[in-house]
Amino acid sequence: MNFVWENTIISFVIIAIIVVAVWGIIRSIVKSLRK
């Protein structure tokens, strides 16, 4: 396996997890603001 390819996949997974977490936080903030 190519090390570059593995690192690219790992980086993509980490970025995806961060995006989902940030999106969840933003939705929670919007929900509490719209109460």
Residue 2 confidence (pLDDT): 73
Number of continuous H segments (helices) and E segments (strands) in the chain: 1, 0
Q: pLDDT tens digit string along 3-23?
A: 888 999 999 999 999 999 999
Residue 1 confidence (pLDDT): 60
Domain ranges of the chain: 1-34
> What is the C-alpha to C-alpha distance for residues 9 and 14, in angstroms, rounded to an integer?
9
pLDDT at residue 31 tops 90: yes
Q: How many CA atoms lie within 13 A of 4 on its CB side?
A: 0
Torsion angle defined by CA atoms of residues 19, 22, 24 and 27, in that order, rounded to the nearest 10 degrees: -120
What type of residue is 20?
V
> pTM of the predicted model, to two decimals?
0.64
